[in-house]
Structure 1
Amino acid sequence: MNGFRLLALWCAFMGLSGQLVAQEQTQAQAAVPAERFFERPAMQDAALSPSGRYLAFLAGRRQERQGLYVLDLRAGGSAQALAQFKEVDVQRFQWVNDERLVFSVWDMDAGSYWAQREAPGLFSVGLEGAKPRELIQRRSWRPVESRSMNRQSALDFRHELLKVPEGGGDEVVIGRWDAKGLQPLWLNVRTGSTRHYEVDAPGPAAQWLFDSRGQARALVTQDGLHQRVFARAPGESEWRQLSEGAVGEVPLTPRFVDDQGQLYVHHPEGLGLEAVLSRYDFERKQVQSPPLLRVEGFDVAANPVLEGGRLVGLRFVADAERSLWLDARRQAWQDKADQRFPGQINRIDCRRCEAQDAVVLVRTASDRDAGQFWLYHPAEDRWQGLARRQPGIEPGQMARVSLHRVPARDGFSVPVWLTHPAGTGPHPAVVLVHGGPWVRGRQWEWEPLSQFLASRGWLVIEPEFRGSTGFGDAHFRAGFRQWGLAMQNDVADALRWAQGQKLAGAQACIAGGSYGGYSALMGLIRHPELYRCGVAWAALSDLDLLLKGSFWVSADTSPLVREQLLTRRVGDPEKHAAQLQATSPVLQAGRLKQPLLLAYGEQDRRVPLAHGERLREALRAAGQEPEWVVYKDEAHGWGRKDTQLDFANRLEAFFSRHLAP
C-alpha cells in the first residue's frame, strides 16, 4: 500500500463514512457480535511531528498487520506507509525530529507464551522512503523479514530506548543492561553509531529520569528487591539519596524533571496515604507543601506535559484520565474540546502552540466510546475528523460505567466499578475480580470484556478490594496477608451492596484471572450462598506451591521474591500454616460445589499449569468435575485474538447456562 491521495480515501479504507463520527446510535435489538469487542483497533495511536506538519499513526485493518503511517497535513492529506511488515506489528513510536521516527515491533498474532519472551527492538525510519533501519535487535522466535530492513551494525536486544531529547537532533538516549544495571548511551538514529554517556550511577541503576536535553537528573537503583532514589540538585553533579524501600513500597518516587532542575515526586499524604505530586526542595531536603496535585481518594499517577523543558500541564488518572493546564491558551483549547465532546475524556496535544497557525490533536473517548481522533485548527475554529479506534463499536450500543465507594463489613471503604446493561435492574450479576492483586483493576474507560458481558444482559461488578493499588498506601497495605480473608470479604460485600441497591439480582457468578481466578475459587468456597457458578483462568490454586515452589514445576517466581515479598504480603509457610491451609483452594476443593469453568495456558510460568491440574484432580476426588480448557500456545493471559474470542464465547455459553439474563 503506497498511499492515498486524500484524507477521505484513507478514512474510507478505515471503514468510516463521509461523516466520520456519527451521533450516538440507539440501543440495537440484536447483541453486538463477540468478535467486535476483541478486534484490533483500526487506528491505535497518533502523534504530531515537532513542527506540526505531519501526523504519524499506527493502523491496521482486517488481517493486515499494524503498520506505521504518516500523513502530510499541508499537502492535500496524502498518506504513506513508513513501516509495514508481514510477520510483526509496529507498536510504539516517537518522533525524533521532523524527518525521522523511531519505533518498536511486536507480534500480535503470537500466543502469550511467545509474546512474553520477545524483546521489541528499536528501529528508525525517515520520511524519504528508505527501508527502516534496525538499531536494536529484536529477540524473538519470529524475526523481522530481512528484506524489509536495513540491518547494519544493530545492537543486541539487551539495549532499550530511554529518552528522545527535544531539539531536533539525530541522537537519542538508550540504556544497556549489564552487571552494573542500566547504563546510558547516546545512539545516532541515522547511522546506528553510539558514543559514551558521561554519568556514574551510585549503584545498579534500574530507572533513569532525564531533562528535555537528555541530561540525567534522577535515578532509581535496585539491589535485589531493595530500591534507592537519587537525584541531582540544580547546578550540582553529585547524587543525593532521597528515599529507599522495598520494590513497590518506596515512600518517595521521582516522576519527572524540568530544564530548571526542578524535581517532581510522588509521595503519600493524608489519612489514606494517597500519592500526591510535589516539587522536591533540595535545600530543605523535603517535599514542598502544599502538593502541586492531590486528588482525594486516589493516587494521582501524574504525567507531565513539557514544552522546551518547561512544565505547561499535567495528565493524571483519578477515576478517569484528566488534564490540568498551567497555560491559559491550552486551557482554552481544552474547554473547546470539552464543549464539543461533553462527558468524554478529551486529551489535547498541540504543535506550534504559540503561533497563529497552531494545530491541536484531540483524542476523545469515554466509558462507551473506544475512542476517536480529531484535528482542531484554532485560527479557523475548524474541526477535522480523522478516525475511530474501533469502527465496529457504536457508543450507543455500549454500557454505562460508574464508580461507587462501598462500605465493607468492617467499615473499610472499597471502590467498586459497575458496568450497567441496558434496561432497569435488578440484573443477574458477574463479579469480575482483577488479577495482581497489587495493581489497580481499571479506570473509567471502554473495556472490552466488561462491555461484552454487559451486552449480554449481566451487571458487571469489579471491586478494587483492599490490596489494590491506586487508592492510597493504606488501601494497598490493608491487603497484606489477607488473601481469602478480608480481601475476599470485600468482593462479597460489593455484590451484597449492589443487591441491596436493587442493581444486582439474587443470581450471580464470580470470575477472574490470575489472583482474580484465586478469588473466584475462594468466593465459591467461602460464600457459596452468593454465587451460582464460577470461572477461573490462569488461577492460583495451591498457596504452598506459590510460596515454596517445586523442583518439578517450572515457574518464573524467584526464591528472592518468595522470601522477601510473598512471605510478607501473602503469608509465611511456617508461621501462618493454618491460615494458608484454610485459604488454599486445592486443599478446600471439597467445598467447591457450584459449576466451575477452569482455563489455563499450557506454557504459563507465572501460574504454572500444575495449579490447574492439582485442583482438577482434587475436584475429581471430591466428585466435582469442572469444565476444563487448556490453550497450547498461551502463557499467563491470552495473546491471540482467536484465543480471546474462543474464551469469550465459552464465558457467554457458561454464564447463559447458569445465569439466565
Structure 2
Amino acid sequence: MFSLTDLGEASGSHSKAPGLFAVNADGSRMRMLVRQTQNFITTDGTDRDALHWNHRLKMIPEPGAGVKNDQLLLVEMGGVDGFYVESPVWMNVNTGSTRAYTDAAPANSFHWVVNDQGAPRATVAMKDGRVQAHWLPPGKTEWAQLYDAPSLNQPFQLEGVSAQGELYVSHVPKGGTYRVLTRYDAQAQAPMDPPLVRVPGFDFQGHLIREGGTVLGVRTMADSEATVWLDERMKKFQAQVDQLLVGKLNSIQCRRCGQPDMVALVRSYNDHDPGKLWLYQAKPPQGENRWRAIGRIREAVQPDQMAGVDLQTIKARDGHELPVWITRPDNAKGPLPAVVLVHGGPWVRGSSWQWNDWPQYLASRGYVVIEPEFRGSTGYGEAHFRAGFRQWGQAMQDDVTDALRWAQKKGLASDRACIMGASYGGYATLMGLAKDPEVYRCGVAWVAVSDLELLVQGSWWVPDDFGMARRLTIPEMVGDGRQDAAMLAANSPVRLAARMKAPLLLAYGEEDRRVPLAHGTRMRDALAAAARPPEWVTYAGEAHGFTKRENRLDFARRVEVFLGKHLAPAQQ
C-alpha cells in the first residue's frame, strides 16, 4: 500500500493528489484505489473504479483483529459551512467496492479515533464555532458528549483507544504546567490522576503504540524522540537495541511485537546522522542473520562532517524561560558569525535533537545557527504557548533577539548576525530588521507574512485558506481586526519599510494560498519606495514552501551567496 509524491512538481501544482495504490507482495497486480487528478503510473486498468482524490488512508486493520485482510479504512475529506470534515469509508482492496460507516455518529466530525478493528470510538467535531468531542463508551450503543468548548480552551485532547474501549487523553492537570497522557475516567467524567506518561520539562506530544488491541507503549518527544514501553518484552528489546546501536536514538516499529517471531524495523539516528534503517527478524529465513542493514536516509550526508545540536534554556529580558537550539560546527573555535533561524507556525514546536537540513546546511558554511523556541511555540508548557497570544512583533520578537544576545554573551556567536525564516519565521525576519536594525546585517525571508491587517481581516481580492482560522483562533492569538487595529498596524512590516536598513532576500511561491504573493509584492513595493529594494525571487507553481528540486537548489544557492556577501563565514 503506498501513495506518491512527485518531487519534480512544484508544491502549488493542483495536477496531482497523492492517491493510494496497492500491489501484491510479489509485485504483481498494481492497482489504483484512490485517484490522482491525472495518472502517471501504469496499473492493471482498474483506475476507472478508483475513488476520487479527496480520500486518504486512515488505517489498515491488523492481522487477527477480526477484519478481513482485504479491508481498508479510508476517510473522505470534505467541508461543511467552511469547516473541514471527514467521513469514514471501508474499501475492499481487491474489488474497489466501498461501504460507508452508517452508525449514528456525531455530524461534522473532523477527527476520528478508531480501535484496532477500525471501528470509530471517539470523534471531534465543529458546531456553531465550538469544538465538540464525543465517544462511544464500552458496551454502549449511543454516543456520549465529552465536552463542548471553544477551540483554544478544550479541556483535553483525544489520543487513542484500546481494544477494551479505554479512552486515552492528554491534558494539563489542574495547577500543572505541562500536558500529560492519561486515561479517561468514565464515572468521574474527567481525565484520571496520576497520569500514565509525564515528560519532565515538556508537553506530552506523541502517539500510542498498539498491536492486537493492546497498548504496548507510547512514543513521545522530550528534547528528542523517546519511547515509553509498557510491555516488558519490548522494554527489554529496546535495551538490547540501544546496547547494539550505541550513541543513537533507536526508534522501533514492529509486528508480532515481543513474540518469538517478531519482525522489527529500527531507525537509528542522532544529531549528526539522518539515520540508518535496520531489519530485525527474530526467526530469520535460513542463511540470513537476525539483523540486516537495509538502507540509509539521505545517504549522501557524511555524519562526521555534520554539526552538533544542543538545547539550552535561557532567560528572556522579562525573565521568561526560553528554550534555544544551537547548531554549531564541531571543530569551531571562538565566536562564529550567526544565523538566527526562526521557525514558522508560529504555534508549533520548532525543532528537536536530530539532523535537520537547514541548520546543518548553514553550519556547514561556517555559521552558528540559533533557533529560539519563542513564546507561542508548542511543546514547552501551556504558559509558554499562551504567552505568545497577541504578541506578534512584541514579546515574541524580543525572544528572538534575546536568544542571539545570549549566544553572543556566551561566546558562541560574534557580533555579525543575520536573521532568516519562512512563513511566521519570515515575518519575524522582517520585523527583526525593522525593530532591531542595529542587530542584524541582513535577512532572508521566504513565504513571509508582511501585512498583519491582511492576515487578520483577509481581502476579497487576495484569496487564501485562512477563513476558518479567522473565525476560530486568529482574533485571540494574533489580534482582532477592529479592536486591535492600531497594534496590528504598528507591527506590520509592510508599514515599517523605512526603518529597515539591512539587505534582504525575499522569496515567494506564486501559488501560495496560506501566505499569498500579495504579502510579498506589498513588502517589495514598500521597500522600493523607501529606496531599499530587496533581492526578489518568485517560483512559478510553488505554494507555501518549495518542493520542486531545481527550485529548492536555486533558493539554497541564493541563500549561500547572499549570506556569504553580507555575513562573512568564520574562515574569512
Equivalent position of 1:431 in the other structure: 340
Distance 1:125 1:379, change over 3 A: closer
* Residues 341 and 105 (structure 1), Cα distance of their counterparts in 2 relative to 1, 3 Å cut: same
1:164 touches 1:172 (CA, 8 Å); kept in 2? Answer: yes
Letter paired with 2:155: P
Give, in whole Å, the separation in 1 of the partners of 2:298 and 2:79. Answer: 44
Give 2:76's aligned amino acid.
R
**In 2, Cα distance between the equivalents of 1:137 and 1:280?**
39
1:152 Cα shift?
4.4
Which residue does 1:108 correspond to in 2? Answer: 7
Deviation at 1:350, TM superposition (A): 3.2
Q: What is the DSSP-based 3-state SS (H/G/I as helix, E as strand, rest coil) of the residue aligned with 1:254?
A: strand
Aligned equivalent of 2:227: 323
Match of 1:172 in 2: 72
1:495 corresponds to which of 389, 404, 407: 404
* Equivalent in the alignment of 1:542: 451
2:21 maps to amino acid? F
The C-alpha deviation readout for 1:550-574, integer Å capped at 9, x for no partner, is 233232222x532442222111222
Please tell me whether residue 211 in structure 1 is matched to residue 98 in structure 2: no
Amino acid corresponding to residue 170 of structure 1 in structure 2: D
Number of the residue aligned with 2:387: 478
2:106 corresponds to: 202
Report the Cα offset of residue 196 of structure 1: 4.2
User: Conserved in 2, the CA contact under 8 Å of 1:520 and 1:535?
Assistant: yes
Q: Say whether 1:597 aligns with 2:505.
A: yes
TM-score by length of 2: 0.93
Match of 2:126 in 1: 222
Q: Which amino acid aligns with 1:113?
A: G
Residues 604, 634 of structure 1: 8 Å contact kept? yes
- Measured in 2, the distance between the counterparts of 1:518 and 1:179 equals 30
> What is aligned with 1:11?
none
- From 363, 383, 406, the counterpart of 2:291: 383
Deviation at 1:260, TM superposition (A): 0.9
Aligned twin of 1:659: 567
Does the C-alpha gap of structure 1 residues 356 and 548 become closer, same or farther in structure 2, counting only changes over 3 Å? closer
How many Å apart are 1:336 and its aligned residue?
A: 1.6
What is aligned with 1:514? 423
In the other structure, the counterpart of 2:142 is 238
- The residue number in structure 1 matching 2:86 is 182
- Would you say 1:137 and 2:41 are equivalent positions? no
2:24 to 126, 150, 163: 126
Gaps of at least 5 residues in structure 1 are: 1-101
Secondary structure of the corresponding residue to residue 544 of structure 2? coil
Displacement after TM superposition at 1:418 (Å): 0.7
C-alpha distance in 2 between matches for 1:286 and 1:444: 34
Q: Residue 312 of structure 1: SS of its match in structure 2?
A: strand
Alpha carbons of structure 1 residues 247 and 641: separation in structure 2 relative to 1, 3 Å:
farther
| Contact kept? 1:132, 1:150, Cα under 8 Å | no
TM-score by length of structure 1 reads: 0.81
Q: Supply the distance in 2 between the matched residues of 1:437 and 1:118 (Cα, whole angstroms).
A: 28
8 Å contact 1:184–1:197 — kept in the other structure? yes
Residue 393 (1) aligns with residue 293 (2): no
Deviation at 1:464, TM superposition (A): 0.8
Q: Is the 8 A contact 2:152 2:473 kept in 1?
A: no
2:54 counterpart residue number:
158
User: Aligned-pair distance for 1:114?
Assistant: 1.0
C-alpha separation in 2, matches of 1:554 and 1:198: 36
Question: 1:56-112, CA deviations, whole angstroms, 9 ceiling, x for partnerless residues?
Answer: xxxxxxxxxxxxxxxxxxxxxxxxxxxxxxxxxxxxxxxxxxxxxx22222221101
Which residue of the other structure, out of 635, 642, 656, is the alignment partner of 2:550?
A: 642
Contact 2:129/2:471 (<8 A) preserved: no
* Contact 1:243–1:253 (Cα < 8 Å) also in 2: no
Pairs within 5 Å for 1:49-64: none
Write the letter of the residue equivalent to 1:258.
S
Q: Relative to 1, partners in 2 of residues 1:376 and 1:551: Cα closer, same or farther, differing over 3 Å?
A: closer
Q: Mark the CA change 1:272 to 1:442 in structure 2 (over 3 Å): closer, same or farther.
A: farther
1:297 and 2:201 are equivalent in the alignment = yes
Q: Secondary structure of the equivalent of 2:188?
A: coil
Shift of the alpha carbon at 1:355?
4.2
% same residue: 48
Letter in 1 for 2:49: S
Distance 1:658 1:194, change over 3 A: same
Distance in 1 (alpha carbons) for counterparts of 2:256 and 2:471: 53
Query: 1: CA distance between counterparts of 2:60 and 2:120?
Result: 12
What SS does the corresponding residue of 1:106 show, helix, strand or coil?
coil
Aligned to 2:278: 374
The 5-angstrom pairing of residues 349-360 of structure 1 reads: 349-360=253-264
What is the CA–CA distance in structure 2 between the aligned matches of 1:196 and 1:555, rounded to whole Å? 32
One-letter amino acid matched to 1:160: R
Contact persistence 1:221–1:228 (CA under 8 A): yes
Q: CA deviation at 1:520?
A: 0.4
Structure 1 residues 178, 375: closer, same or farther in 2, change over 3 A?
Answer: closer
Are residues 185 and 488 of structure 1, via their aligned partners in 2, closer, same or farther at CA, if it must alter by over 3 Å?
Answer: same
Which moved further from structure 2: 269-278 or 211-220?
A: 269-278
Correspondence 1:51-90 to 2 at 5 A: none
When structure 1 is superposed on structure 2, of 280-289 and 451-460 the one drifting more is 280-289
| Distance of 1:224 and 1:619 partners within structure 2 | 42
Q: In 2, Cα distance between the equivalents of 1:590 and 1:248?
A: 36
* Deviation, structure 1 residue 450: 0.8
The whole-number CA distance in structure 2 between the counterparts of 1:351 and 1:613 is: 52
Partner SS for 1:449: helix
Q: CA–CA distance in 1 between the matches of 2:152 and 2:49?
A: 37
CA distance in structure 1 between the partners assigned to 2:51 and 2:448 by the alignment: 38
Separation in structure 2 between the aligned mates of residue 158 and residue 431 of structure 1, nearest angstrom: 39
Give a deviation string over 1:191-213, Cα, whole Å, max 9, x none. 11123434212221111111111
CA contact (8 A) 1:242 1:252 kept: no
**Alpha-carbon distance in 2 for matches of 1:577, 1:509:** 30
Query: What is the CA distance between 1:247 and its match in structure 2?
Result: 3.7
Q: Using the alignment, how far apart are the partners of 1:474 and 1:229 within structure 2? A: 24
Report if aligned partners of 2:307, 2:364 keep a CA contact under 8 Å in 1: yes
SS at match of 1:436: coil
Among 516, 522, 525, the alignment partner of 1:614 is 522
Shift in Å, 1:130: 2.7
Distance in 1 of aligned mates of 2:184 and 2:207: 16
Name the structure 2 match of 1:312: 216
After TM superposition, give the deviation of residue 624 of structure 1 in Å.
0.9
2:267 alignment partner, one of 363, 378, 381? 363
Q: Is the 8 A contact 2:168 2:183 kept in 1?
A: yes
